[in-house]
Chain A
């Protein structure tokens, strides 16, 4: 028994503990990773909403079905807006990389307009559905539809507000490290919304009219 008590002193002398590692184990920029983790948690929200829609999507309660309500031409236009906004944001990132403030702002403005166009079409679609009496209270299908698509729409709304805020920041302070970092985060957010939209147009709209 006494042997075990004398051990620590000897062991400490043998292997001196290293408290300062020669190589920093943490990534250089924590913000990108942290923001990515936020996006992944956002993914979980959408996963749950998709699962809910998957379960309730065919419970029409005698009301209108997706095949009767969805206008695929409108959805195609909306998809085009969002896809185009993804590449225009890419061009903004390229301008940022070339330290071109005016180019960055111009491409961000185009991206923002495409985002607004997307929102306008979506609001038109929602208003149209409500007008036809196909609101979220009509059936479980419509409740889950409005929750899922509405949550995505809210994300685009906040993304657009963020985009305008960042444009003002860049206009005032230029492409300082803080602003490029914010722009990197918004870029991830914007492209992430496009990824979610792939799920929406495939599983909600295209499969909904089958």
Chain B
């Protein structure tokens, strides 16, 4: 009932011959996601293995960016994320997790490295 309405919202050609709790997946989505994932994996590996970027900070930023984009690609094409499934609760819980992740990882690194710096013996 409500699930049918939700599904009708995003898939025009939604077939009803399978069980109604299924998300309709397409071969095109998987292939698109796979090709993008291969590209987004190959470039960082090539960058590091060929030593294309000398500056460490630049390399870390570039690699981090590639990882973030690839995670979004996997979320969209493999995990079929969008704002509509489960009435938006999937998206909401994911956003909450991302906030929690950012606080945990960035917070830990910030506090620990700040403390490291503070504990260093001073060299006048």
A29-B21, A83-B41, A202-B67 as given contacts; A51 in contact with B104, CB under 8 Å? yes
Binary A-proximity of B2-29 (CB < 8 A = 1, otherwise 0): 1100100000000001111111111100
Render A75-108 as a binary contact track against B, CB cut-off 8 A, 1 for contact: 0100100010011001101100101000000000
C-alpha gap A206/B49 in the complex (Å): 9
* Cα–Cα distance between A27 and B24 once the two chains are bound (Å): 16
A184 and B67 in contact, given A28-B1, A54-B108 (Cβ under 8 angstroms): no
Known contacts A97-B25, A206-B48, A55 near B108 by CB under 8 Å: yes
Q: Is the CB of A83 within 8 A of B66?
A: no
The A contact surface, by secondary structure, is helix
User: Is B82 part of the binding interface, using a Cβ–Cβ cutoff of 8 Å?
Assistant: no
Which residue on chain A has the smallest CB distance to residue B7? Answer: A28
Nearest CB on B from A197, distance (A):
10
- Binary contact readout A8-52 vs B (1 if CB under 8 angstroms, 0 otherwise): 000000000000000110011101110011001001100110111
Contact of A207 among B22, B60, B86, B109 (CB under 8 A): B60
A157 at the interface (CB under 8 A from B): no
A30 to B60, CA, bound (A): 40
A33-B90, A206-B48 known; A86+B109 contact, CB < 8 A = no
Contact with A along B60-89 (1 / 0, CB 8 A): 100110110011001100110000011101
* A164, CB-defined interface residue at 8 Å: no
Is the CB–CB distance between B59 and A210 below 8 Å?
yes
The docked-state distance in angstroms from the alpha carbon of A54 to that of B24 is 39
What residues of chain A lie closer than 8 Å to B122, measured between beta carbons?
A: none
Per the bound structure, the CA–CA distance linking A97 and B25 in Å amounts to 8
One of A116-124, A127-135, A146-154, A186-194 at the interface = A186-194
Q: Residues on A close to B: CB < 8 A?
A: 23-24, 27-29, 31-33, 36-37, 40, 43-44, 47-48, 50-52, 54-55, 72, 76, 79, 83, 86-87, 90-91, 93-94, 97, 99, 177, 180-181, 184, 188, 191-192, 194-195, 198-199, 201-203, 206-207, 209-210
